[in-house]
Amino acid sequence: MSHYKSNLRDLEFNLFEALHIQDYLGEEPFAGFDRANAMDMLREVDRLAREDFAASFIDADRIPLELKDGEVVLPDSLKASLDALFDGGWHLLGIPPEMGGFGAPDALRWAGGELLLGANPTAYLYNSGILIARVIADVGTPDQAEKWAQPMVDRRWGGTMVLTEPEAGSDVGAGTTRAIHIEGSTYHLEGVKRFITSGEGDYYENIIHLVLARRDGAEPGTKGLSMFIVPKFHLNEDGTLGEHNGVYTTKIEKKMGIKGSTTCELTFGVEEPAIGYLVGDVHDGIRQMFKVLEDARMLVGVKSAATLSTGYLNALEYAQERVQSTDLAEMADKSAPRVPIVRHPDVRRMLMMQKAHAEGMRALFLYTGKVQDQVRIDPSEPYWAKLDDMLLPMIKGYCSEKGYELLAQSLQVFGGSGYTQDYPIEQYLRDAKIDTLYEGTTAIQSLDLFFRKIVRDQGQTLVRFSESILDTIKGGREELAAERQMLGTALEDVQEHIGVLVAHSMASMQDPPEIYKTGLHTNSLLESLSEVVIGWLLIRHAEIAIEALDAADEGDRAFYEGKIASARFFSRHALPKTKLRRQAAENEDGSLMDLPVEAV
């Protein structure tokens, strides 16, 4: 049996009952889609995920990868999973029609992404060439789109984003990789990059690296970085593969999780020139790379949500089958029968905590997918792009942190059995930890949210978005009056939390160390704001579920009752924490940063 347990019903609910994406299907830019064929696609991706894609989940973890003579041979089962993805054309879901793809709405694309990422995140990471192709087609020259991007789609080439250097880490602007101008858009690159996902693998005919490097004489920091197309193999005039370029994998990391994903050290220009081509013929590397980075950050958040969802569903199944101890209400009766552990209060609490958050994270990233669709439908309205920018650090930061935290509760439901490889939870945990680290740590996401997406924007996007939350708070079903009140209180806490951090930031203009008081509480702001947004979405879902209950059949009735329960549980167990975080920010004296390093 597959380890992966999907939640296709909740995906359908989000897309069509809550978000109503069918209202813009059938019209440009999504003229080729309607509700029926969108669901047909999701059902087939769901089947692919549970069967072919999930089949190599264990092998990808337990068959060691080795670097020999610059090459890495992937397990046959992993290649078979990738064949199923590519042969079915499902890698084309988000590729525009002019490049041979389906041009699916982003909400639908991310729904499919959840299924595949939940089934086998390691395998899905080898599909990154599609993103690189889209970016080259978007910001490259027409010639670069034809020469590099289109073959990546047609010939299943790999692709990487190459930022990190051993001494620079997340401080991308401190990178020292050189780009030496030869002629036109051609450069020679020299340097070493680290932690490059899918940087090597024998599944690919070719790999296209998008590399940040600094040309001689460029200004310091991120603004001086340019982006280059650096192929593993050169191309001949007729499009066939030529000689190996001067970029080589010189190390692969031995990791805690996602072990079947080649995380590489790449060395440029040692034995022979590493030829790169300036993307778009312009020196605008960091802005161009953010096209890749933003999609990758969204993917990480979806991966976290997907893993928590299957972790929860595995734990739920186990709790329904595992019989142990008597019901707590019958403990005095020594003859009382043993019951499934789902009957025990603490197990029930852990399961509902996982359920509410898994559904809430799904609601968050699919709502953001609809926002991304609005960017394409109405590009003249800047609000949608700004809202997408504001939601992205929440998806990446909150989902990765909370997903990892709650997967530990998925394991806890299994007891000692969860710590073994008899069940998939221990691998879920190991595979999920990376999500809080790569594509920008949680601290980076929180600083981005506060300083760039709120302060720099003067709060305009947040204020406009909050109006939608206030509309829900002000009116709705009487059955959810208490939950709406809790949401209103939490929103006020977040607004006051922001005010405190803004005050500290302004004070730092005269007294620089005051900024530490802000930095100590941006993570907690990200957490609180994310939970307000999720709480709002879950309450909206509960409103829909209450309306739908009367006409629901037996199976759907249980589903809708579960949606109501999730909203109520989240409102009572997550939203009150916003007050504690706000109070902590208000009470901050900054003394932690005055503590001698030796005492930390």
* Residues labelled as active-site residues: 439
The C-alpha angle with vertex 461 and arms to 456 and 463, in degrees rounded to 5, equals: 110
Contact (CB, 8 A) for 177 and 245: no
Q: What one-letter code names the amino acid at 358? A: A
The number of residues making up the chain comes to 600
Q: CA–CA separation, 134 vs 229, rounded Å?
A: 13
Beta bridge partners of 193: 266
Q: Which of 427, 447, 445, 425 lies closest to 437, judged by CA? A: 445
Q: CA–CA separation, 157 vs 288, rounded Å?
A: 20
CB-count burial class (<10 Å; 0-12, 13-18, 19+) for 520: middle
Distances, alpha carbon 209 to alpha carbons 73, 200, 216, in Å: 19, 10, 21
Q: CA–CA separation, 368 vs 22, rounded Å?
A: 16
Q: Taking the mean position of all CA atoms in its chain, how far away is CA 116?
A: 13
Q: CA–CA separation, 119 vs 58, rounded Å?
A: 11
- Please give the radius of gyration of the chain, using alpha carbons only, rounded to the nearest integer: 25
Contact (CB, 8 A) for 105 and 33: yes
Packing angle between helix 460-474 and helix 522-549, nearest 10 degrees? 40
Task: Provide the b/e sequence for 390-400 (b: ≥16 CB within 10 Å).
Answer: bbbbbbbbbbb
What is the rounded (10 degree) CA torsion for 563, 564, 567, 568?
A: -150
Q: What one-letter code names the amino acid at 35? A: R
Number of Cβ within 10 Å of residue 2's Cβ equals 17
Q: CA–CA separation, 140 vs 279, rounded Å?
A: 5
Q: CA–CA separation, 16 vs 23, rounded Å?
A: 9
If you ran DSSP here, which 8-state letter would residue 243 be given?
Answer: E
